[in-house]
Amino acid sequence: MKLTLLGMYGPFPASGKGCSSYLIEDGDTRILLDCGSGSLSKCRDIFPDLPLRLDAIVLSHMHADHAGEIHLFRYMAEFGKLNTPVKLFSPETDNLQYPVFETVRTYDGMQTTIGSLTLGFVAVQHAVPTMGIRITDSGGHSIFYTGDTGWFDGLVTAAQGADLLLADACLRDESNEKALKNHMTVAQVLSLRQKAGCNAAVLTHLYDDGTEYPAIIDRRCIYAVEGSVFEIISHDTK
């Protein structure tokens, strides 16, 4: 299974960069995980031939920095530039009912199969209905994507043993109590990786507001860099 970071910013992308969007590939299976700004053009950079083929678009939640380009993908499908119907998974589906989409509302505990991949959904703690998503390939390798979430104890269980933790780490510290309900700090994500026994963590959903993020000393954790590609292989040592 391969993960490409198409866009890794929260709502304030840096110049020329994009909001939350991740491409998961496993053999012929292609899943777009969130589709914030820039995701459509980044997909076309990777797959220039039209129509574009995606097995599914999976939205963690409907905030614009994660779902902002869904209607551009709809236009693509309506103009025959994207395979139809496109399977579309989201915890909220009211504004996603279109003939080109095969829309499925996700819920806590739901499991589904897309091509060679199994997806498991867990409700996380955010301002709107939001799912953390575990993606597992046929070899048992897994990614757990937190979506946007504040810390809650169930997160450790949800992320348990994932090979790669892809986590919302937009807060630099705990100074903003209100934001802490909806997002994690860098330190919380480092702790989550350790407690859940994940092999590695990519800290994402960063804010580009001119303030530096703290340096990370855990060699199994890195900040997301747009365009990075990760091959998910078996655990070595925890």
CB of 66 to Zn ion, least distance (A): 5
Quickly tell me which residue has 């897309």 as its tokens.
Answer: 114
Q: Which is nearer to Zn ion, 65 or 163 (CB)?
A: 65
Nearer to Zn ion (CB atom), residue 7 or residue 10: 10
Nearer to Zn ion, 77 or 89 (CB): 89
Residue 94 CB, nearest approach to Zn ion (Å): 17
As a whole number of Å, the CA-based R_g of the chain is 17
**Nearest approach, Cβ of residue 130 and Zn ion (Å):** 7
- Name which of 65 and 137 has its Cβ closer to Zn ion: 65
* Complete edge-to-edge strand list for the sheet that includes strand 101-105: 101-105, 86-90, 56-58, 29-35, 21-26, 2-7, 229-231
Residues of this chain that bind Zn ion (CB under 5 A): 10, 63, 65, 148
User: Nearer Cβ to Zn ion, position 77 or 131?
Assistant: 131
Sign of CA dihedral 154, 216, 144, 89: positive
From the CB of 238, what's the least distance to Zn ion, in Å? 29
Minimum separation from the CB atom of position 232 to Zn ion (A): 23
